Amino acid sequence: MLKESFFLSEDVITLAQELLGHKLISEDNGKVTSGYIIETEAYRGPDDKACHAYNYRKTLRNAAMYQKGGCAYIYRCYGMHHLFNVVTGPEGTPHAILIRAILPDQGVELIIKRRRWENKPRYLLTNGPGKVCQALGISLANNMQPLTTPNLYISKEKISGTLVTTPRIGIDYAEEYRQVLWRFLLSPQ
Segments making up each domain of the chain, as ranges: 4-188
Closest CA to 133 of 171, 180, 99: 99
pLDDT higher than threshold 80 for residue 189: no
At residue 90 the predicted structure's pLDDT band, cuts being 50, 70 and 90, is very high
Q: What is the DSSP letter of 58?
A: -
What's the CATH superfamily of 4-188?
A: Methylpurine-DNA glycosylase (MPG) (3.10.300.10)
Cβ atoms of residues 174 and 49 within 8 Å: yes
Cβ atoms of residues 69 and 95 within 8 Å: yes
pLDDT higher than threshold 80 for residue 127: yes
Verdict on whether the full-model pTM lies above 0.85: yes
How far CA 51 is from CA of 41, 44, 45, 133, in Å, comes to 11, 6, 6, 20
Q: Which helix (H) or strand (E) holds 85?
A: strand 81-88
pLDDT tens-digit readout, 70-89: 999 999 998 889 999 999 99
Q: What average pLDDT does this structure show over 113-134?
A: 96
Spatial neighbors of 108 by CB under 8 A, at least 6 apart, are: none
The pLDDT assigned to 83 comes to 98
